[in-house]
């Protein structure tokens, strides 16, 4: 339970006492998809009255805003820093320096806008029966991505949150997180769970390969960027499956 609370403190903006140590975060990694499940249930519960009281396009904006609020914008910040560092085409050291900069640039703003727009559009397009399933599942799959990335990609720096996390994530933690994510995906999407899990795993492997080439490894910002990309990608995939009549 202590490790679950560590994961909650880092991944959400819920009012919990004290902050996690970086090393503790890696040991709590197996709980990441469980925290995602809690977030998803909160979002699905909030969506019931919101979508009942407002048009889908308006309600989707409100739920995406709540989504960002519940996470404290942590992953969006990581996405922006990653986009700024990788997007400008500088060398490794310059990219890492830009990612440390607290200021946000054009690439970061664009990345945040695109991810939020993808979530909004996907939610607005989903049928009610598929929408609540997507809201529960996307945060779960989004928090599986960093576990996989930490196993396929070394840290880029010898210190920092990304280094501590990558060094502490164990195979049992990854297996536990994958089991939770798989169970949720199967329960909510049936046979299409394999495709959604494959999408998240593919994103993690592809991103990890790129980071090894570009930076020599991952950073804490890259973990947050992958959370956002996996969440948005999962919702878009569900929207496509719903449009094609598969779900």
Q: Which of 209, 204, 200, 201 is nearest to 231 (CA)?
A: 200
> Over the stretch 64-107, which tens digit does the pLDDT of each residue have?
999 999 999 989 999 999 999 998 767 888 999 899 888 899 99
Q: Is the pLDDT of residue 22 over 50?
A: no
Average of per-residue pLDDT across 116-140: 96
Residue 5 neighbours by CB under 8 Å, 6+ apart: 16
Which tens digits make up the pLDDT trace of 221-231? 999 999 999 99
Please state the pTM of the whole predicted model. Answer: 0.93
Q: What is the predicted pLDDT for the residue at 60?
A: 97
3-class SS letters over the chain: CHHHHHHHHHHCCCCCCCCCCHHHHHHCHHHHHHHHHHHHHHHHHHHHHHHHHCCHHHHHHHHHHHHHHHCCCHHHHHHHHHHHHHHCCCCHHHHHHHHHCCCCCHHHHHHHHHHHHHHHHHHHHCCHHHHHHHHHHHHHHHCCHHHHHHHHCCECCCCCHHHHHHHHCCHHHHHHHHHHHHHHHHHHHHHHHHHHHHHHHHHHHHHHHHHHHHCCCECHHHHHHHHHHHHHHHHHHHHHHHHCCCC
Residue 246 pLDDT > 80, yes or no?
yes
Check residue 2 and give its pLDDT. 75
Tens-digit pLDDT profile for residues 132-160: 999 999 999 999 999 999 989 999 887 76
């Amino acid at each position: 339970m202590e490790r679950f609370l560590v994961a909650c403190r880092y991944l959400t903006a819920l009012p919990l006492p004290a902050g996690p140590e970086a090393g503790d975060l890696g040991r709590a990694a197996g709980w990441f998809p469980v925290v995602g499940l809690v977030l998803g249930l909160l979002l699905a519960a909030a969506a019931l009255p919101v979508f009942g009281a407002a048009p889908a396009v308006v309600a989707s904006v409100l739920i995406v805003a709540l989504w960002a609020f519940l996470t404290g914008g942590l992953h969006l910040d990581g996405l922006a820093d990653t986009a700024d560092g990788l997007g400008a085409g500088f060398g490794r050291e310059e990219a890492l320096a830009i990612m440390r900069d607290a200021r946000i640039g054009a690439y970061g703003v664009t990345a945040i806008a695109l991810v939020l727009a993808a979530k909004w559009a996907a939610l607005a397009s989903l049928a009610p029966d598929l929408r609540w399933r997507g809201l529960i599942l996307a945060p779960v799959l989004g928090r599986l991505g960093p576990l996989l990335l930490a196993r396929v990609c070394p840290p880029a720096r010898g210190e920092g949150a990304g280094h501590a996390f990558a060094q502490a994530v164990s195979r049992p933690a990854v297996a536990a997180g994958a089991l939770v994510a798989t169970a949720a995906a199967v329960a909510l999407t049936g046979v299409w769970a394999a495709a959604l899990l494959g999408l998240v795993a593919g994103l993690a492997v592809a991103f990890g390969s790129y980071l090894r080439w570009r930076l020599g490894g991952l950073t804490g910002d890259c973990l947050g960027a992958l959370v956002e990309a996996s969440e948005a990608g999962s919702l878009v995939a569900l929207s496509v499956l719903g449009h094609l009549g598969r779900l």
